[in-house]
Amino acid sequence: MPREVPKAYEPQEIERYWAQAWFEEKIYRGEATARGDTFSIVLPPPNVTGSIHIGHMLEHTQIDIIVRWRRMRGNKTLWLPGMDHAGIATQVVVERQLAKEGLRREQIGREEFERRVWQWKAESGGKIKKQMIRLGVSCDWTREKFTLDPPLYRAVMEAFLRLYREGLIYRGRYMVNWCPRCQTALSDLETIHEAREGKLWHIRYPIAGSKEFIVVATTRPETMLGDTAVAVHPEDERYRQLIGKMAVLPLMNREIPIIGDDLVDREFGTGAVKVTPAHDPNDFAMGRRHNLAEIDIMTPDGHISAAGGAYAGMGRFAAREKIVEDLKAQGLLEGTTNHAMSVGLCDRCKTIIEPRLSLQWFCKMKPLAAPGIQAVEDGLLSIVPDNQKKIFLDWLTNIRDWCISRQLWWGHRIPIWHCGDCGEMTPATDSRVAVVDGRAQIAGVPDKCEKCDSGKLTQDPDVLDTWFSSGIWPLSTLGWPDNTEDLRTFYPTSLLISGYDILFFWDARMIMLGLHLAPGTKIEERIPFRQLYLHALVRDPHGMKMSKTRGNVVDPLEIIEKHGTDALRFALTVMAAPGTDIALSEERILSYRAFANKIWNAARFLFFNLEKIETLGVTLEELAAQEIRANAPYATRDALPHQWIFSRLAEVTRQINEALENFRFHEAAHVIYHFFWGDFCDWYIEWLKPQLASGNREDTIATWRNLFAAFEYALLLLHPFMPFITEELWNRLPQAAGAKSISLQPFPKAHTGWLNSEAEHRVALVQEIVVAARNIRAEAKLDAKKKVAADLASDNSEVLNRTSENLDVILRLGSLSALNVQPGKLKSREGAVRSTSQFDLGIKFEGELVDAGAEAAKLKKEKERLEKDVASKKQRLADDTFRNRAPAEIVRGLEATLADRQLEYQKIVERLAQLE
RNA sequence: GGGCGAUUAGCUCAGUUGGUUAGAGCGCUCCCCUCACACGGGAGAGGUCCAAGGUUCAAGUCCUUGAUCGCCCACCA
């Protein structure tokens, strides 16, 4: 490492260097830090759909802070990284690429398509990994996993087969959400709802054998082709007599029954509803209750099927228009009203989904949800923030079966074979997988049908929902179903940090599947993680969700190249108060880049002086003594600043530990920020400067040791938040010689022995005095370069004596009290006074005139404020109920404050009188 | 239709068991390129804490109602 230190911090090269070094030296291996209690966490695996975005960055930053902090505190720490094949999301991306070549996946076939996706995965996955390494996340890359790796593929097979044999996975023809573009079923969670202005068409259905009509209202007239009934509420007086009669379905000329069902809302529309069991979830339920035919009138790609008579072959929206037109022509359209409604869209491609009757695989959820509810209610799994707990429990309580099959080609293929003769199903013999061309496929292929011994078996073409494999991520990444050492050591994991947006998708599924599948008899042995922290989402500066279509996505790597990872990390951390989303702006990042620069320059101050120290005859070894921190603060002639800064350090450490314990990242970041910038730089270093320039050798050494010790201590505290700059600077410290990485050093302890309220109190007074003096100087517009004379009258003369020699340097005062200006006698033309109950400070202006009017105005304003304050306090203290009911401590405190204020008030009144 | 969250300085936001003069960053005004740092130093201005009730000796903080905005869930044809 070169010694020269540029004036402004340039993070790019330094960050690249350390990111690479940490990665190559594998210092974050699970075994490498094998010491105390285990702390394990899995990375929510990013999708291999592109690259890391700012949301990942926030998540990775928070995890990294906790992980670095835990590791430094001596936990045996594992952060396990990996990626998700992201079934439908990735398939959509590759399909779009194909579309650019004018191709569809059916044209190139399943095998070629899969080859293309693997190729994409290699590129995207590689890019993501590179990015993550650049972010400096301290995960164990030697354990990196991918959901389609053979061992993980096998774990998925095992999970499926177990649930299948237990009857928790079943196949059946039910209503599912169907995306006509992706041509696959979707789970309820994968459909999003968007408010749209729709229409409600009122259509006349003639009553058979009569001239009457029954008018039904619908938002999707095209589905009438599949109507098999008209339903009314059984107690609806308007329609009751029609129940049991037949209606004639217009356009199709089919007689359909009029039924009574209390699902019908009498208030809505006309109170009569057309029933299309194959294309609407409500109608489906009604259909099953009343044994209605289920007529599927739509093809998988959203066209009208042969069952749709004259409309066959038309697109679903074209058919709608044509049908409305035809109804109008036949006089069967009674009217149209506007209707606010919400349409379901495919989460991935935003195509309007079609509820569709379809043969799919489902997972029974009620039995899986019960232990999850119990785990949360018993406190074996804690959820932060607390309000998410209720949301989570509500969802688990009202859970419905999960459609787990997808008509996709990218994913884990369902290990079930269908018999060509009897049609029955035969599962794989076991979960073993074979590796063909580096890719896993099921090995336990059954050779004959379980039911009829036929050999005509074909494997189910569907793949599993991608969340099925992510649902066992903590298990599969640690080697399950084998009883591996990793599984024994690191499962259950300690914590999961994820966005609240995937609470149901992922977190809940992991909890349910983990509790069901993990070995162990107790819930606490099987739970996949003991704590769940849900972080906020990152939004653009206007609070809008970031999306490519809005064009407001922020590329983290761009920011990193501009301002550095540490600055971005710190900005995200400070803004990440739990519960509220983050609006990220570049300005905010800039101010934390400035913070990095501040740290850098504080270090420059120390390093510059290393040479000076050497000229004093002090060796770096003396400065680098192992116990340098342990023995601080070292005694010096003026002990106050050292006692104070180490007292602050002890307190700040306690606060950081407590905040991180409770995932209060922003609080921890604020504490360290203000400590470093305010306490350490603005006061401590400035205070020490004059002492470092003069004094005897012993004193100087002790002062330097304190300074270096405090600085190193601060770097250690900062490291989880800003890993790069702290690593770089720590390595340049004399005491770090030969040590490996700051990230493997012990996190500072909150030394209670350093706490010194006396010192803190006295320094607070010094600070008040200094601020008062600066205030006079600024308000009086004194020449900043000129020295001035001042006089300080204080009850606390000891403090004055100990600090006065420094004040003159800090303030560029002529020596304090040398001129013996009596604040009480200072004339307005000569100077100004600031008074508190603790001290009076007068500054005499040599030959310059103060603006007496301005001074008087200021004092008047202050007087008014104090008047009000004193009055309200007096009133309060005069109130007997207050005196009787408030704690004595509060009353006493108020009395003391009142006395102070009155004294100040008195002084101001006197001063004002003088000015007039 | 349920549920959750937000509303505090010009802007973006902190403010964990109620307690004495409500904070930060940015922006703004004034002074200073003082030998770590102008990505800096110093001093300031700026707030009836959304509204109305209530509980309490004491409310930004707790309760009720309402307003505005945002999000989530839901089988509103």
What is the identity of the amino acid at A61? T
Q: Note the CA–C1' distance, A886 to B54, in angstroms.
A: 21
- CB-CB contact of A669 with A652 (8 Å): no
Which nt is closest to the CA of A386, judged by C1'?
B4
Task: Please state whether A889 falls in left (phi above 0), alpha (psi between -120 and 50) or beta.
Answer: alpha
Q: Please, where are the H alpha helices in A675-745?
A: 686-693, 697-718, 723-732
**Residue closest to B30 C1′ by Cα:** A778
The sign of the dihedral angle between the CA atoms of A338, A344, A350, A352 is negative
Q: Measuring from the CA of residue A543 to each C1', which nucleotide is nearest?
A: B70
Q: Count, in order, helices (H) and strands (E) of chain A.
A: 28, 30
Taking the CA of residue A870 and the C1' sugar atom of nucleotide B56, their distance in angstroms comes to 23
* Separation of alpha carbons A813 and A806, rounded Å: 10
Give the CA A823 to C1' B49 distance in Å.
Answer: 39
Q: For chain B, which bases have at least one atom within 7 A of a protein Cβ? A: 3-6, 12-16, 19-21, 24-26, 30-34, 36-44, 56-58, 70-77
pLDDT digits (tens, 9 = 90+) for A689-731: 877 776 677 788 888 888 888 999 999 999 999 999 999 999 9
Tell which residue, A110, A140, A188, A111, has the closest CA to residue A34: A140
Site of tokens 């540490």: A566
Q: Identify the H or E element spanning A45.
A: none
Determine the protein residue whose CA lies at the shortest distance from the C1' of B57.
Answer: A882
Q: What's the whole-model pTM score?
A: 0.91
CA of A576 to C1' of B69 (A): 20
Q: Which of A361, A362, A360, A397 is nearest to A376 (CA)?
A: A397
Q: How far is the CA of A469 from the C1' of B13 (A)?
A: 39
**Separation CA A389–CA A392 (nearest Å):** 5
Strand nucleotide closest to residue A674 (CA to C1'): B24
Tokens of A313: 């072959």
Q: Which two tokens stand for residue A570?
A: 């710190």
| A577 closest-nt by C1' vs CA | B14
Protein residue nearest nucleotide B41, by CA to C1' = A682
Q: What single-letter DSSP state applies at residue A179?
A: E
Q: State the Cα–Cα distance between residues A885 and A582, nearest whole angstrom.
A: 42
**Straight-line distance from the first to the last Cα atom of chain A, in angstroms, rounded to the nearest whole number:** 66
Which residues does A630 contact at the CB level (< 8 Å), separation at least 6?
none
A626 CA – B52 C1', rounded, Å? 65
Q: Are A714 and A693 in contact (CB under 8 A)?
A: no
Structure tokens at A614: 């050497």
Q: How many other C-beta atoms can be found within 10 angstroms of the C-beta atom of residue A324?
A: 17
Q: Which long-range contacts (CB under 8 A, 24 or more apart) does A275-278 make?
A: A275/A227, A275/A228, A275/A229, A275/A230, A275/A231, A276/A223, A276/A224, A276/A226, A276/A227, A276/A228, A277/A226, A277/A228, A277/A357, A278/A226, A278/A356, A278/A357
What are the Cα distances from residue A309, in Å, to A226, A297, A312, A356? 10, 9, 6, 19
Cα A109 from Cα A551, distance rounded (Å)? 34
Q: Strands of A233-306 (E only): list them.
A: 246-249, 254-260, 272-275
CA of A605 to C1' of B15 (A): 35
Please give the DSSP secondary-structure letter assigned to residue A545: B
Q: Are strands A839-844 and A831-835 parallel, antiparallel or unpaired?
A: antiparallel
Point out the nucleotide closest to A784 (alpha carbon to C1′): B32
* pLDDT averages per 10-residue partition of chain A, 916 residues: 70 93 90 80 91 87 95 93 91 89 89 91 92 92 95 96 95 90 87 82 86 87 88 85 84 86 82 88 87 88 86 87 88 83 84 89 92 90 86 88 91 94 92 90 91 90 94 95 92 92 91 94 93 83 61 79 92 78 78 93 88 72 63 78 92 92 91 94 87 76 87 94 94 78 89 88 84 80 66 62 57 49 59 75 66 76 83 84 86 87 85 75
Distance A384 CA to B28 C1' (A): 39
| pLDDT reported for residue A611 | 75
Give the nucleotide with minimal C1' distance to the Cα of A500: B72
Closest CA to A32 of A614, A914, A782, A744: A744
Nearest protein residue to the C1' atom of B37, measured from CA: A601
- Separation CA A363–CA A168 (nearest Å): 6
Distances (CA, A) of A792 to A418, A807, A815, A820: 96, 11, 11, 9
Distance measured from the CA of protein residue A604 to the C1' of nucleotide B39, in angstroms:
15
- Distance, CA of A851 to CA of A556 (rounded, Å): 52
A720 cis-preceded (ω within 30 degrees of 0): no
Instruction: Name the closest nucleotide to A579, judged by C1' and CA.
Output: B5
* Distance separating alpha carbons of residues A535 and A495, to the nearest angstrom: 13
Which protein residue's Cα is closest to nucleotide B74 at C1'?
Answer: A398
Q: Where are the beta strands (DSSP E) in A543-664?
A: 582-583
Residue A817, pLDDT score: 44
One-letter identity of residue A758: E
Specify the nucleotide whose C1' lies closest to residue A580 (CA). Answer: B5
Protein CA at A309 to nucleotide C1' at B35, angstroms: 92
* C1' of B57 to CA of A881 (Å): 5
CB A88 within 8 A of CB A406: yes
B4 C1' – A655 CA distance, angstroms?
Answer: 30
* Residue from A327, A409, A345 nearest A188 by CA: A345
Nearest residue for B40, CA–C1': A598
Helix (H) or strand (E) holding A915: helix A888-915
- Nearest nt (C1') from A340 Cα: B76
Residue nearest to nucleotide B19 (CA to C1'): A890
Using one digit for the tens of pLDDT, what is the confidence trace for A540-580?
A: 665 566 666 556 677 788 889 889 999 999 998 988 776 66
- Tell me chain A's radius of gyration from C-alpha atoms: 37
CA dihedral (A499, A502, A508, A509) positive or negative: negative
Name the closest nucleotide to A599, judged by C1' and CA: B37
- The Cα A56–Cα A48 span in angstroms is 13
pLDDT digits (tens, 9 = 90+) for A112-164: 999 999 999 999 999 999 999 999 999 999 999 999 999 999 999 999 999 99
Residue A83, helix vs strand vs coil:
strand
Q: Are A346 and A353 in contact (CB under 8 A)?
A: yes
pLDDT of residue A800: 58
**Nucleotide B48 C1' to residue A582 CA (A):** 29
Query: Which residues does A698 contact at the CB level (< 8 Å), separation at least 6?
Result: none
Q: State the Cα–Cα distance between residues A64 and A221, nearest whole angstrom.
A: 54
- Measured CA to CA, the distance from residue A464 to residue A156 in angstroms comes to 9
Q: Which amino acid is at A108?
A: I
